[in-house]
Amino acid sequence: MGAMDESRAAQPTPYEQLGGDAGVRALVDAFYDRMDLEEAFAGIRRLHPASLDGSRDKLYWFVSGWLGGPQLYVERMGHPRLRARHLPFPIATAERDAWLACMRMAMADVAVPVPLAESLMNALFGTADWMRNRDV
């Protein structure tokens, strides 16, 4: 193992920085709680089923692996194929921005350290922008 590999191995993953399983679950729950309660997120809430239980689990599974933790989504569902799985839903700039705003609030709700939150939001922007499949 080279010096660069040792340095990288010594740094905790975002999954670990969030507090592992419990921290990721808390973030996902805060995200869907906000979506379910805030009028500003009614548009993206309507894109989900009446019960958010399945959505909560799928996002938790995905985010766990995305952050460097267990690959729960891949183990249960296979490759995420995010864009393909989101194509049935009308996602334009407004939906992208609402999703990101909801996630930013959820990160604040669970006190994600600002440097980590900013890093994650930058990465999430690229993914959320890629999900857009409508101009308006």
- pTM summary value: 0.89
- Burial (CB < 10 A; 0-12, 13-18, 19+), residue 116, is middle
Q: DSSP state, 35?
A: H
Tell whether 3 is covered by a domain: no
Tell me, yes or no, whether 92 lies in a domain: yes
- Confirm whether 100 is domain-assigned: yes
Burial class (CB in 10 A: 0-12, 13-18, 19+), 90: middle
Task: Say if CB 58 and CB 49 are below 8 A apart.
Answer: no
Q: What pLDDT, on a 0 to 100 scale, did the predictor assign at position 135?
A: 86
Residue 136 falls within a domain, yes or no? no
Evaluate whether residue 4 is within a structural domain.
Answer: no
- Tokens 């995905």 locate to 62
Residue 66 covered by a domain: yes
Residue 62 buriedness (CB in 10 A; 0-12 / 13-18 / 19+): buried
Please give the pLDDT value at position 78. 86
Strand, helix or coil for residue 74: helix
Averaged pLDDT, groups of 10, the chain, 136 residues long: 55 96 98 96 96 96 97 91 90 97 98 97 95 89
- The enclosing domain of 101 has a CATH number of 1.10.490.10
Question: 90 CB contacts (<8 Å, ≥6 apart)?
Answer: 47, 133, 134
Q: What pLDDT is recorded for position 1?
A: 47
- Classify residue 10: in a domain, yes or no: no
Domain carrying residue 118: 16-131
pLDDT of residue 5: 54
Q: Is residue 44 part of a domain?
A: yes
Total domains, the chain: 1
* pLDDT for the residue numbered 6: 55
